């Protein structure tokens, strides 16, 4: 019953919000070598297009595709239909999704919305999910969201960030014949979204992107929690952006990932800095090693070593920490989780829960940025 209710709610959302829908091509299982997969229609109606020929399939049909040297072998309920160059699973309705199960060990089966286009790439299956933009965005938001909330406004924010990335990188895989891959190379995408609030967030923000004062799409970086102070982009990477400047962020204070602690043996701590060329015999260095503090504000280095490097080497949650001597160890008392640049997800959840509008949250975390409406259809065609 719960499944049916969710389906109906999602269907209603999709029906009421997506009257015109543009589709993009996303390569799925991009980092896997798949030789055989089965397709089952989960919801809606599918037909298989084989060049000029068309076959309609029933919900109970199990369709198998195997990569055979140059071609693809098609079987329906284990009877051989034939060998083809491309096999496309197409649908017309407003809401359709299918289950795709690769045969390879350890490769998970997943559900996807809309169409599936299959071809043979050097003896393996090249699987392309031809999917409506907003459904793809919802899938990415669900795969990437950190922390739990049901606030639709927060998912709108996340959807806008995903859409920005998509439209800034539409040509990233042009030479490969699709728009995005499903790995972290582009944006992690693990199939269809099944959380109603996320789907609403994606559809309710259809066509909305975030731009700088010149009207250009911006890099919308985010992290889990800023620790109360966001970071300049140039302090983490080499480029400075006017919309990615560090600022006070009281909205992240006290949230779930606000604080952390880590203990490191004093000997290891000293050796680490010695190996970095620091003279640990020096009295002021000895003092800094056990009393380093960022209470007066975020710093970029400790004893000349970049904090981003220290964070990486000790697998710390963030670069915002103070140090105290704790017996034979040093205690790192840290704040925040992630690189700290751009939007703090927990801070954004807190702002949405406090009643701020989603555009106010974006304008807070991305200094000088504004929401702009784009015509997705025009850009894609
Ligand atoms: Zn990619």
Helices (H) and strands (E) in the chain, counts: 11, 22
Q: Look at residue 301 and tell me if it is in a domain.
A: yes
- Positive or negative, the CA dihedral 199, 201, 206, 210 is negative
- DSSP per-residue codes, 259-272: EEEEEEEHHHHHHH
- Do residue 311 and residue 288 come from a single domain? yes
DSSP states of 99-167 = EEEE-STTPPPEEEESEEEEEEETTEEEEEEEEEHHHHHHHHHHHH--S----HHHHHHHHHHHHHHHH
Whether residue 282 is contained in a domain is answered as yes
Last residue of a domain, one of 335, 357, 372: 335
6 and 135 both lie in a single domain: yes
Structural domain boundaries, residue 140: 2-196
Ligand 1 centroid–CA 183 distance in Å is 6
Examine the domain organization and report whether 215 and 166 are in the same domain: no
Separation of CA 126 and ligand 1 centre (Å): 14
Q: State both tokens at 97.
A: 């999704």
Shared-domain flag, residues 15 and 83: yes
Task: Give the chain's residues under pLDDT 70.
Answer: 1-2, 7-20, 146-147
Q: How far is the CA of 188 from the centre of ligand 1 (A)?
A: 9
Give tens-digit pLDDT for 319-345.
Answer: 999 999 999 999 999 999 999 999 999
Please check whether residue 202 lies inside any domain of the structure. no
201 located within any domain: no
Count structural domains, the chain.
Answer: 3
Å from CA of 69 to ligand 1 middle:
26
For residue 326, what are the contacts with CB-CB under 8 A and spacing of at least 6? 263
Cβ(127)–Cβ(31) below 8 Å:
no
Verify that 186 and 241 share a domain, yes or no.
Answer: no
Q: 344 and 331 share a domain?
A: no
Instruction: Clarify whether residues 167 and 283 are in a common domain.
Output: no
Q: Is residue 285 part of a domain?
A: yes
The answer as to whether 13 is a domain residue is: yes
Q: In angstroms, what is the span from residue 253 Cα to ligand 1's centroid?
A: 35
Looking at the fold, whether 242 and 135 belong to one and the same domain comes out as no
CA of 54 to the centre of ligand 1 (A): 31
Rounded CA-CA distance 32/265 in Å is: 41
For ligand 1, the distance from its centroid to the CA atom of residue 185, given in whole angstroms, is: 4
pLDDT digits (tens, 9 = 90+) for 99-111: 999 999 999 999 9
Among the candidates 174, 196, 218, a domain finishes at 196
If you measure from the C-alpha of residue 303 to the centroid of ligand 1, how many angstroms do you get, rounded to a whole number? 38
Check whether residue 73 and residue 150 sit in a common domain.
yes
Instruction: Examine residue 357 and state whether it is found in any structural domain, yes or no.
Output: yes
pLDDT at site 5:
72
Q: Is the domain of 118 the same as that of 168?
A: yes
Residue 185 lies in a domain: yes
Residues 293 and 371 in one domain: no
Strands 180-181 and 23-27: parallel
Same domain flag for 347 and 307:
no
Q: How far is the CA of 26 from the centre of ligand 1 (A)?
A: 9
User: Residue 29: its pLDDT value, please?
Assistant: 98
Q: What is the pLDDT of residue 95?
A: 85
């Amino acid at each position: 019953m719960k499944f049916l209710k969710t389906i109906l709610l999602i269907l209603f959302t999709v029906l009421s919000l997506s009257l015109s829908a543009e589709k993009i091509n996303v390569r799925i299982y991009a980092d896997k070598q798949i030789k055989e997969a089965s397709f089952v229609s989960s919801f809606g109606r599918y037909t298989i297009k084989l060049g000029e020929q068309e076959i309609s399939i029933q919900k109970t049909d199990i369709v198998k595709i195997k990569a055979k040297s140059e071609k693809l072998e098609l079987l329906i309920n284990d009877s051989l239909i034939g060998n083809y160059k491309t096999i496309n699973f197409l649908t017309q309705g407003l809401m359709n999704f299918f289950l795709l199960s690769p045969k390879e060990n350890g490769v998970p089966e997943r559900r996807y919305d809309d169409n599936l286009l299959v071809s043979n790439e050097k003896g393996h299956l090249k699987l392309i999910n031809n999917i409506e933009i907003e459904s793809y965005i919802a899938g990415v938001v669900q795969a990437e969201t950190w922390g739990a909330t049901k606030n639709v406004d927060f998912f709108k924010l996340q959807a806008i960030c995903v859409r920005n990335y998509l439209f800034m990188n539409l040509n990233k895989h042009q030479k490969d014949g699709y728009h995005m891959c499903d790995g972290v190379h582009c944006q992690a995408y693990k199939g269809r979204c099944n959380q109603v609030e996320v789907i609403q967030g994606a559809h309710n923000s259809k066509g909305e992107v975030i731009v700088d004062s010149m009207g250009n799409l911006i890099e919308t970086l985010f992290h889990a929690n800023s620790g109360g102070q966001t970071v300049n982009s140039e302090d983490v990477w080499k480029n400075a952006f006017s919309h990615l400047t560090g600022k006070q962020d009281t909205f992240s204070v006290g949230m779930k990932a606000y604080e952390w602690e880590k203990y490191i043996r004093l000997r290891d701590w000293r050796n680490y800095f010695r190996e970095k060329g620091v003279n640990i015999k020096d009295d002021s260095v000895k003092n800094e090693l056990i009393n380093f503090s960022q209470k007066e504000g975020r710093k970029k280095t400790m004893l000349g070593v970049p904090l981003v490097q220290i964070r990486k080497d000790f697998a710390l949650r963030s670069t915002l920490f103070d140090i105290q001597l704790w017996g034979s160890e040093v205690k790192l008392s840290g704040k925040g989780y992630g690189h700290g640049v751009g939007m703090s997800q927990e801070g954004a959840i807190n702002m949405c829960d406090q009643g701020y509008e989603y555009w106010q949250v974006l304008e807070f975390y991305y200094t000088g940025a504004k929401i702009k409406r784009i015509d997705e259809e025009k850009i894609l065609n």
